[in-house]
């Protein structure tokens, strides 16, 4: 009897709901982002996995693409779509990529209708590019910091190139197991209020690390090579957040740098690392 009373109460409550007041959503479908760059900004390769959605400046969530997203508002609306990445390559750290401006569009949202958006994003105009290395024909990772001139950054064959004419390549063996290389030139990276990110396309058979060497007058160089990358068999892209690292380690100038060591636990006598589109961007 007790359970019958509960059922009757539930049925009565459901009858009291005014379903006419429940909004019928419109929908947005976003398959992927396109990325547009100028020649001075380097490659347009990207790994934008997520879309962050704002409607009339109200946050509607972040979604992995492709995605069909319900929007409770209808009528004229200003849509902003921000490209999302995984900060430092960590799946559990999705963020709006702070170096790209949102895609904006005005739409008339209609209940039950699905509007397909094909967003194109660009870098913010106020970004500064301290380093861009695309490894085409030549490169500037020639400064040796491992005391072995037999381990160095070279150029790939066309068959192993990610895009363009060449990519960078590192070969490690038991006889030559360690590399440390840095850029030929030092650059100033001010401690501004904005972000600083390193971007890189890579494919590797052994762990390696990327980062910076900081230089200041009267001080020893500061090793800030803290971005680690695990092996992957296909080309991927990483977005390393160096904002706090640079702010907490101010130096007069910096060079981008990388290190790696032969892994005796891997059954590969020749272990390769391949690189492309190395950028350091700050605001």
Look at residue 9 and tell me whether its pLDDT is greater than 50: no
Look at residue 17 and tell me whether its pLDDT is greater than 80: no
Reported as a single tens digit per residue, the pLDDT across 186-240 is 999 998 789 999 999 999 999 999 999 999 999 999 999 999 999 999 999 999 9
Q: CATH classification of 23-122, choosing from 2.60.120, 3.30.300, 3.40.50, 2.60.40?
A: 2.60.40
Q: State residue 192's pLDDT score.
A: 79
Look at residue 79 and tell me whether its pLDDT is greater than 80: yes
pLDDT > 90 fraction of the chain, expressed in percent and rounded: 90
Which of 145, 144, 143, 141 shows the shortest CA–CA distance to 155? 141
Look at residue 16 and tell me whether its pLDDT is greater than 90: no
- For residues 171 and 181, give the distance between their C-alpha atoms in angstroms, rounded to a whole number: 13
Look at residue 10 and tell me whether its pLDDT is greater than 50: no
Look at residue 66 and tell me whether its pLDDT is greater than 50: yes
φ and ψ of 74, to 5 deg: -130, 165
Which of 209, 151, 140 shows the shortest CA–CA distance to 175? 151
Domain boundaries, the chain: 23-122, 128-282
| Average pLDDT of the chain, as a whole number | 93
Residues across the chain: 283
- For residues 145 and 149, give the distance between their C-alpha atoms in angstroms, rounded to a whole number: 9
pLDDT band at 15 (very low <50, low <70, confident <90, very high): low
Q: Is 234 exposed, middle or buried (0-12, 13-18, 19+ CB in 10 A)?
A: exposed
pLDDT band at 21 (very low <50, low <70, confident <90, very high): low
Segment 245-250 shows an average pLDDT of 95
Q: Can you give the pTM of this predicted structure?
A: 0.90
CA dihedral 170, 172, 178, 179 (to 10 degrees): -10
Using left for φ > 0, alpha for ψ between -120 and 50, and beta otherwise, residue 112 falls in left
Q: Measured between alpha carbons, how far apart are the two ends of the chain, in Å?
A: 69
Reported as a single tens digit per residue, the pLDDT across 123-174 is 999 999 999 999 999 999 999 999 999 999 999 999 999 999 999 999 999 9
The verdict on domain 128-282 having CATH code 2.60.120.200 is yes
């Amino acid at each position: 009897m007790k359970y019958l009373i509960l059922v009757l109460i539930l049925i009565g409550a459901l009858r009291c709901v005014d379903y006419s007041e429940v909004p019928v959503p419109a929908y947005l479908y976003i398959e992927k982002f396109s990325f547009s760059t100028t020649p001075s900004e380097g490659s347009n390769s990207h790994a934008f996995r997520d879309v962050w959605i704002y409607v009339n400046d109200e946050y509607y969530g972040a979604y992995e693409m492709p995605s069909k997203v319900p929007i409770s508002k209808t009528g004229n609306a200003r849509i902003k779509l921000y490209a999302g990445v995984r900060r430092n390559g960590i799946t559990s750290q999705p963020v709006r990529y702070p170096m790209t401006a949102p895609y904006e569009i005005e739409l008339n949202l209609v209940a039950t209708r699905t509007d397909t958006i094909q967003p194109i994003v660009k870098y913010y105009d106020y970004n500064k590019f301290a380093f861009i290395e695309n490894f085409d024909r030549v490169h500037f990772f020639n400064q040796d910091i491992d005391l072995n001139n037999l381990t160095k950054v070279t150029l790939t064959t066309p068959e192993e190139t990610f895009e363009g004419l060449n990519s960078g390549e590192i070969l490690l063996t038991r006889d030559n197991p360690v590399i440390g290389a840095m850029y030929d030139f030092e650059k100033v990276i001010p401690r501004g209020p904005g972000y600083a990110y390193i971007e890189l396309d890579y494919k590797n058979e052994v762990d390696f690390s990327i980062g910076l060497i900081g230089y200041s007058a009267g001080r020893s160089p500061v090793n800030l090579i803290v971005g680690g990358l695990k092996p992957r068999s296909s080309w991927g892209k990483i977005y390393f957040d160096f904002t706090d690292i640079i702010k907490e380690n101010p130096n007069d100038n910096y060079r981008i740098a990388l290190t790696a060591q032969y892994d005796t636990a891997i059954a590969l006598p020749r272990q390769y690392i391949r690189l492309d589109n190395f950028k350091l961007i700050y605001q």
